[in-house]
Structure 1
C-alpha cells in the first residue's frame, strides 16, 4: 500500500466526520432562517463554534451504561452504525478518479449492502437497552428501514439498466449528454423518499419520535455513544446526497468549475433540501409511513423498472 493511499484512507473518514459535525451547525442556522427565528448565535461569529461547544460537552458527559442493558451489544450498536456509514463512502467517486476502495465493478451494490447493514445498529440498540421505548423505536426502525431498502433497490434498477453497470464511475460517465434525473425522474423521486426513510430524518423520523418514544432506539444512550449515533445520522445525510449527485445529477460533471467543486455544490444543494424538508413538513403516523411505501412507492418503482426496460428494448430494436 502506497503512502498516498494510506493517507487517503486515514484522512477521508476524518473529513467526513468533520463535515457531519459542521452540518449540525449549518442545519440549525438554516432552520432558523426558514422558520423565521434565531438559530445558534452566541458561541463565535454567527454561532459557528456551537458545534465545537456541543462536541466538547458530549466528550465530558458521563458515559453511563444502564445496569439492566446487555452491555456488549449496547456498546457495539453505535460503532456498527458509524462503521457502515463510513465504509459506504469508500466507493463514492468525488472526481474523475476512483473512490477510496478503487474502481469497484459492484460499487453500487457495496453501498446498498452497507446501508442495509446499518439497520442492525438501531435494532440492536433498541433491543440491548432493555427499555420499552427503545425497543419500540428499534422495531419501528427495523420495519421502516428494511421496507424502504426494497424500494430504494428497485428505484436504482432503472439507473443500472441505462448505464449498463453497477460501477459508480461508469454511471457518472453514462450521464455525459443527459443527467439521469430527467429520464429517471420517477426513480429519483422514489430514491429520495427511500433515502429520507433510511436515514430516519424528518418527516420520517418515526424510530426516534420524541413525542411518542422519548428518543426512540437511543433513549438510554449518553456521552460519546449517543454522539456516534448523532454524527452517523448526519454522515448518512451526506451519503444519500452524494449518491443522488452520483446517480442522478451527473456526479462531478459540469462546465468551467473543477470536478470536485461541482460535486460539492450538487451534494450541498441536496443536503439543503433535506434540511428544508425538516423545516416545512410534519411527521406522519407510522401506519401512513408504511402505507406510503408498500402501496405507493412499490408500484411506482416496479412501473419505473418496466418502463425503462421497455424503452431500452424498443431503442435496441430500432
Structure 2
C-alpha cells in the first residue's frame, strides 16, 4: 500500500512540476515580450501597443490568436518532415532548461547536482532545430541564415561554457541551487557581494555570448532582415512561426535567469541579507526578487537592441575568437589562482 501511495505521489509531483514549467513558459516570456515592446517604444518616443487590453498588455496574446488563424504555408520544394519538426526542436530545449532554474529556496522543478551542465547541454540542441529549419525550407535566404547561425554558435558557445566553468570552479558545485547558496554569505575583502563582482569579466563574456546564442542585437546577423529577410524563419508562417517567436522570448527569460543565478545572487536581495524564516514567505519573496532581476536583464537586452548597430559577420567572428575566448580563459585562470591561494 505504501509503495502504491509513493508511486501516486511521484506521478502527482511530476505532473505538478511539468504544469508549473509549462505555465512559466507560457506566461513570463509574454511579460518579457510586452516589456520589450513598451521599452522600445519609450526609447523611440512612441506609445507602442495600446489597443489589446489595458495599455496593450494583451498584445502578444492577440498576436498568438492571429498566428493560429493564419494559413500554414509550406514551400512546395521543402523537406516536409524536417520543415515541420524544426520549430518543435527549437522550442523544447528552452522548456527543458526551465526545469533546473531555481526561483526561490523551494521554487524549482528539479535540483540536479549537474544542473548547469544539463541546462547548457540542452541549450545546444536548439541549433539543430535552426539548421533543420534552414535546410528543410529549401530557400537560399534560410540556408544563408542557418550557415551564419552555425558559425556564430560554434564561436560563441566556447566562451559561454568557459564563463560557466569559472562560476562552477568558484562555487564548487554544478547545482544551480548550490551556486545561489554559495553566494548567500560570499564576501570580497569583507564586503558581501554576489559573484558579479569577482567575476565581472565572466559576466561580460557570458552576457555577450547569451546575446549571440539568442540572435539578439548587435549579434543578430543570422536573421538580418535587411539581407536575409528572417534567416531560418523566412519560409515559416502561422503557428510554426509563433513557436520561433515564443522560443526567442522564452530564451531571453531563461538565459536572464542563468545570469541571475550565476552572477546576481539568485533569490537573495543581496548576499548577507538572510531570507525570512517562514518557508512560504521566503519562497514568495525569493520568487519576486528573482523575477524582478530577470525582467531587469530583459530590459537591458531591449536597450541594447534599440541602441547598438548590427555587427558584420567578420566583426562578429573576430570579436568571439580574439576577445571573448581569451577573456573567458583569463577569468578561469584568475579564479583558479584565487582558489589555490585562498
Q: TM-score, normalised by structure 1?
A: 0.95
CA distance in 1, matches of 2:181, 2:27: 29
Q: Does 1:158 align with 2:166?
A: yes
Cα shift readout 1:71-104 (whole Å, capped 9, x = no counterpart): 101011110111010001111111112631x221
Contact 1:58 1:224 in 2 (8 A): yes
Paired position in structure 1 for 2:145: 137
Paired position in structure 2 for 1:208: 223
Q: Does 1:263 align with 2:290?
A: yes
Match of 1:54 among 59, 63, 80: 63
Contact 2:163 2:206 in 1 (8 A): yes
CA distance in 1, matches of 2:52, 2:173: 48
Contact 2:112 2:175 in 1 (8 A): yes
Match of 1:125 among 133, 158, 161: 133
CA distance in 2, matches of 1:231, 1:98: 23
CA distance in 1, matches of 2:167, 2:20: 31
- Cα distance, 1:259 vs. partner? 1.1
Contact 1:116 1:146 in 2 (8 A): no
Q: Does 1:283 align with 2:292?
A: no
- Cα distance, 1:47 vs. partner? 1.6
Alignment of 1:287-298 (within 5 A): 287-298=314-325
Contact 2:224 2:231 in 1 (8 A): yes
CA distance in 2, matches of 1:54, 1:207: 24
Moved more, 181-190 or 30-39: 30-39
Contact 1:238 1:271 in 2 (8 A): yes
**Unaligned regions of 5+ residues in structure 1, if any?**
none
Paired position in structure 2 for 1:75: 84
Moved more, 191-200 or 38-47: 38-47
Paired position in structure 1 for 2:194: 179
Paired position in structure 2 for 1:304: 331
Aligned length: 314
Q: Does 1:313 align with 2:340?
A: yes
Paired position in structure 2 for 1:242: 257
Contact 1:119 1:146 in 2 (8 A): no
Q: Does 1:42 align with 2:57?
A: no
**Unaligned regions of 5+ residues in structure 2, if any?**
1-9, 186-192, 276-281
- Cα distance, 1:3 vs. partner? 2.2
Contact 2:218 2:311 in 1 (8 A): yes
Paired position in structure 2 for 1:63: 72
CA distance in 2, matches of 1:174, 1:24: 32
Q: Per the alignment, do residues 98 and 39 of structure 1 end up closer, same or farther by CA in structure 2, a change over 3 Å counting?
A: closer
Contact 2:32 2:253 in 1 (8 A): no
CA distance in 2, matches of 1:103, 1:199: 25
Paired position in structure 1 for 2:4: none
Moved more, 302-311 or 252-261: 252-261
CA distance in 2, matches of 1:2, 1:298: 44
Q: Per the alignment, do residues 216 and 52 of structure 1 end up closer, same or farther by CA in structure 2, a change over 3 Å counting?
A: same
- Cα distance, 1:2 vs. partner? 4.4
Q: TM-score, normalised by structure 2?
A: 0.89
Cα shift readout 1:43-92 (whole Å, capped 9, x = no counterpart): 33212222122111100000111110001010111101110100011111
CA distance in 2, matches of 1:160, 1:38: 43
Contact 2:32 2:295 in 1 (8 A): no
Give the aligned CA root-mean-square deviation in angstroms. Answer: 1.3
Contact 2:100 2:119 in 1 (8 A): yes
CA distance in 1, matches of 2:152, 2:135: 16
